[in-house]
Structure 1
Amino acid sequence: MLLVWGLAPVLLSADDSPARRAEPRSPSLDAGRKAVDAKDFKSALGPLTQAAKETPNDADVHNLLGYSYRNLGQFDKAMEHYRLALNINPNHRGAHEYMGELYLQMDQPANAEKELQALSKACPWFGKCEEYDDLKEAIEKHKAKTK
């Protein structure tokens, strides 16, 4: 038990969510994040695509591209980028959450549940993290709507 508590600061700091990084890694990524934060998803695509060319193995960049495409209704492209993010980092919590939300938008709740299950393994505190809670809530709302 002492080992778990001793690792608490490390586990708490192990957050792969792109919104929580203090320092952007490139001007393109910075511009893309600003556009996403402003919910200007169309404007985000150019700089994020450039960031993906600059750092093709950055899961956060692909997650943000997927998020932008999803919010523009381009589900195929969104799925492509979420899958790229998860190929780079299979435990990327943001990509699992957003892919689950995409599945709900596509009325595929069983696949959303699979992403929730993946999050239960990826979250550091026995399945407890913001991404897990957010996707679980989205699934519950989807179920209530479809009853």
Structure 2
Amino acid sequence: MQTLTRLFFPAALAFIVATGPALADSSASSAANKAKADPAYAQAEQLVEDGKYEAAIPVLEGIVAKDQENADAFNLLGYSHRQLGSIDVALGHYETALKLEPRHRGANEYLGELYLKMDDLAKAEERLDVLDSACFFGCKEYTELKNAIAAYKARAGS
């Protein structure tokens, strides 16, 4: 048995190291690639990061008008609208992002947070389950939604 373990472990480790990046969800890297390829996306991303959601929305709308397959832009649209209090609009954009890319980490996290704002813990936990399977070795989106759910439960006393 010990010989089998000595043979199996290095092979398994080599497989994980070699395929880890291929097995990881691509939403974070696809956003970085879009930012490099599209200056408008980079501008929108910076506006969102700076909390300038009203300014980011028309830039993002222009992006999705040209590229209706851009899950990252739909995700940022949802985030921007959520930050401005437009819950229904945000929900629609997150749903579009997830139709395009069901395992999109950002959209799953943000939609889970939106569900908490809507007092729908069960749906937020569904998004956490999706992130659990999408984040092969864990990811910040999973951790952030898990923490948001724990805080929600603490406030609700459940």
TM norm. shorter chain > 0.5: yes
Structure 1: distance between partners of 2:152 and 2:69: 33
Give me the whole-angstrom Cα distance separating, in 2, the residues matched to 1:46 and 1:31.
11
Structure 2 regions of 5+ residues with no counterpart? 1-11
Distance 2:29 2:148 in 1: 20
1:106 — aligned with what? 118
Say if 1:143 and 1:74 are closer, same or farther in 2 by CA, change over 3 A. Answer: same
User: Match for residue 156 of structure 2?
Assistant: 146
Give how far 1:5 is off: 2.9
- Which of residues 141, 145, 148 in structure 2 aligns to 1:135? 145
Aligned: 1:124 with 2:136: yes
Unaligned runs of 5+ in 1: none
Distance 2:31 2:144 in 1: 16
**What TM-score, normalized by structure 1, do the two folds share?**
0.90
Cα distance in structure 1, aligned partners of 2:93 and 2:110: 11
User: Does the alignment pair 1:17 with 2:28?
Assistant: yes
State the Cα distance separating 1:121 from its structure 2 match.
Answer: 1.2
Report what 1:30 is aligned to.
42
Change (3 A) 1:19 1:67: farther
AA partner of residue 49 (structure 1): E
- Between the aligned partners of 1:23 and 1:56, the Cα distance in structure 2 is 13
Instruction: Kindly name which structure, 1 or 2, has the bigger radius of gyration based on alpha carbons.
Output: 2
- Output aligned runs, 1:34-73, within 5 Å: 34-73=46-85
Supply the distance in 1 between the matched residues of 2:23 and 2:30 (Cα, whole angstroms). 18
Aligned Cα root-mean-square deviation (Å): 1.8
Q: Percent identity?
A: 37
Aligned partner letter, 1:42: E
Take 2:55 and 2:29, find their aligned partners in 1: how far apart are those partners? Answer: 18
- Structure number with higher helix proportion: 2
Return the letter of the residue paired with 2:32: R
Letter in structure 1 aligned against 2:143: D
Q: Which amino acid aligns with 1:58?
A: N
TM-score, normalization: structure 2? 0.84
